[in-house]
């Protein structure tokens, strides 16, 4: 194996390991005794209307990008009417719901119970930030840019 191929292989392993850790954080979040009920109304996916766009750490962006790739897409879908690009316009559903970012799970959707208090999830946030730093990120980015960059990295 050439040095370049070895570097690519170790980068892929690092991304896979980070993705596994992030998914474990999502599992632990789901197990928290905080009552929330997302019924996929997708109101919080309407960034332009809410004026709020989730910020993603790099690990979350990698998980989202890998999930999008698993749908057969290699590029971020176009944003329609200021909604999240992951919101499929025809079905009105999230393309990556099972792998949606942390902010989409601790959402600000009133119907689902409002935002989780930071103290309820701060330990999980710290772990996401640690993975972000380990991946050499400069910090969380808005969802569209974060996922587009992650897609380019895993291409």
Q: Which of 22, 25, 63, 94 lies at the binding interface for ligand SF4 (CB under 6 A)?
A: 94
Residue 87 near ligand SF4 by CB under 6 A? yes
Residues 7-27 as b or e (16 or more Cβ within 10 Å = b): eeeeeeeebeebbebbbebbe
**Is 84 a binder of ligand SF4 (CB under 6 A)?**
yes
For 19, the token pair is 């993705």
3-11, 22-30, 97-105, 132-140 -> range binding ligand SF4 (CB under 6 A): 97-105
The yes or no reply on residue 63 touching ligand SF4 (CB under 6 A) is no
User: Does 141 participate in binding ligand SF4 (rule CB under 6 A)?
Assistant: no
The reply on whether position 104 binds ligand SF4 by CB under 6 A is yes
Give yes or no for residue 100 binding ligand SF4 (CB under 6 A). yes
Q: How far is the CB of 40 from ligand SF4 (least distance, A)?
A: 8
Q: Does 66 bind ligand SF4 (CB under 6 A)?
A: no
DSSP H or E segment with residue 142: strand 141-142
Is 25 in contact with 124 (CB distance < 8 Å)? Answer: yes
Residue with tokens 């928290």: 32
Rounded Cα–Cα distance for residues 12 and 144 (Å): 22
- Residue at token pair 């191929």: 5
Interface with ligand SF4 (CB under 6 A): 42, 45, 84, 86-87, 94, 96, 100-101, 104
């Amino acid at each position: 194996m050439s040095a370049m191929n070895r570097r690519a292989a170790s980068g892929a392993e690092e991304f896979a390991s980070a993705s596994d850790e992030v998914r474990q954080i999502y599992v632990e979040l789901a197990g928290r005794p905080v009552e929330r009920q997302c019924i996929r109304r997708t109101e919080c996916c309407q960034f332009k209307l809410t004026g709020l766009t989730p910020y993603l750490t790099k690990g979350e962006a990698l998980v989202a990008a890998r999930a999008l790739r698993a749908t057969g897409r290699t590029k971020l879908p176009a944003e329609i009417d200021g909604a999240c690009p992951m919101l499929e316009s025809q079905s009105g559903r999230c393309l990556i719901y099972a792998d949606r970012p942390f902010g989409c799970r601790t959402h600000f959707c009133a119907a689902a119970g409002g935002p989780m208090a930071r103290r309820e999830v701060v330990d999980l946030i710290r772990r996401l930030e640690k993975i972000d730093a380990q991946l050499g990120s400069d910090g969380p980015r808005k969802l569209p840019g974060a996922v587009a960059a992650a897609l380019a990295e895993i291409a």
